[in-house]
């Protein structure tokens, strides 16, 4: 009988996205084929000592830690020190993609279209009144380093913008104030290391009452219509697929990534790249995989194979 691969599922953690991470982890933990894998669960918040002590028993770690201390390169660095291979991107790629300011700079350096933006630190609050002169109004306000739309809002007018910036500072010491790009939101999922496959594009349509694809719209079943494949022209679809692959390569991502975009007229404007996409029952990556004819268990097999291939 073939030996089963010893896989550790890492979920939970310390971030604002802990609840979502636990759902992603549970979905993956339950779907991994027990004929192929010997699976053990670790929540690093509670099981960090056990993870370190049992590191030599782990052949591959499946990181499903969304947000800080999981998606930002720090858990990847710890696993490197422990000599535990893992699914997904390495330290530098994870940290760069998680930081919206750095990711935007990488996109721009590769000629990819991004929204105009300004980064504010706490001592820059006096400059808020000049933002509309530079990037217009309304604006999208985001913590520079958070995920799952945590701390994001759309604001118009100096008073509203100032309030949104102050709220975003509660999550991060740096805040991205970005021009509001009106258009259809899509996401494009990529599989691979250097040779890349692109899954069918998904269009995201939040229900009435949601100004954008915020945390509640992301994770409340039925709150958002997600259409796969997206009903867009082949010209736009081709552009979006190429942008997603270029973003994956520019950030030096490994195994998988999901790049979110807004279609403004005939141009795909990049928003961000996720190096640990959600894997809950409402998540976009599993939906795109189903659109490509893959079962959830088959998707996990593919991710693991790509991770082992990377070595």
Active site residues: 17, 148, 219, 258, 260, 272, 274, 278
Cβ proximity of 157 and 165 under 8 Å = no
Q: What share of the chain is helix, strand, coil (3-state, %, to 5)?
A: 40, 25, 35
- Whether the CB-CB separation of 40 and 59 falls below 8 Å is answered with no
Q: C-alpha angle 294/300/301, rounded to 5°? A: 85
Q: Cα(10)–Cα(252) distance, rounded to whole angstroms?
A: 22
- Measured CA to CA, the distance from residue 51 to residue 47 in angstroms comes to 6
Beta pairing, strands 60-63 & 5-10: parallel
d(CA 310, CA 256): 12
Supply 247's token pair.
């973003």
Q: What are phi and psi of 114, to 5 degrees?
A: -135, 165
Under a CB-based contact definition with an 8 Å cutoff, are residues 41 and 61 in contact? Answer: no
Q: For the chain, how many residues are written?
A: 311
């Amino acid at each position: 009988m073939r030996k089963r691969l010893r896989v550790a599922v890492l979920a939970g953690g310390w971030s604002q996205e802990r609840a979502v991470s636990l759902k992603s982890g549970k979905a993956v933990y339950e779907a991994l084929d027990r004929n192929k894998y010997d699976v053990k669960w670790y929540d690093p918040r509670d099981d960090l000592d056990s993870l370190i002590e049992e590191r030599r028993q782990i052949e591959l770690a499946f990181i499903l830690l969304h947000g800080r201390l999981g998606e930002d390169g720090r858990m990847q660095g710890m696993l490197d020190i422990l000599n535990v291979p893992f699914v997904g991107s390495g330290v530098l790629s994870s940290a760069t993609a998680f930081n919206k300011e750095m990711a935007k700079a990488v996109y721009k350096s590769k000629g990819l279209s991004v929204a105009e933006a300004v980064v504010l630190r706490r001592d820059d609050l006096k400059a808020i009144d000049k933002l509309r002169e530079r990037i217009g109004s309304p604006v999208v306000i985001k913590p520079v380093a958070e995920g799952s739309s945590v701390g994001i809002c759309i604001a118009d007018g100096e008073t509203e913008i100032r309030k949104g910036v102050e709220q975003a500072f509660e999550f991060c010491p740096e805040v991205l104030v970005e021009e509001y790009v009106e258009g259809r939101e899509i996401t494009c999922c990529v599989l691979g290391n250097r040779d890349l496959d692109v899954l069918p594009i998904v269009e995201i349509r939040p229900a009435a009452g949601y100004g954008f694809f915020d945390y509640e719209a992301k994770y409340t079943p039925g709150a958002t219509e997600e259409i796969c494949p997206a009903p867009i022209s082949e010209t736009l679809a081709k552009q979006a697929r190429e942008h997603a692959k270029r973003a994956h390569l520019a950030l030096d991502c490994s195994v998988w990534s999901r790049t979110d975009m807004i279609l403004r007229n005939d141009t795909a404007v990049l928003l961000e790249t996720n190096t640990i996409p959600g894997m809950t029952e409402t998540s976009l990556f599993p939906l795109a995989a189903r659109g490509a004819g893959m079962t959830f268990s088959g998707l996990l097999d593919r991710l693991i194979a790509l991770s082992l291939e990377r070595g």
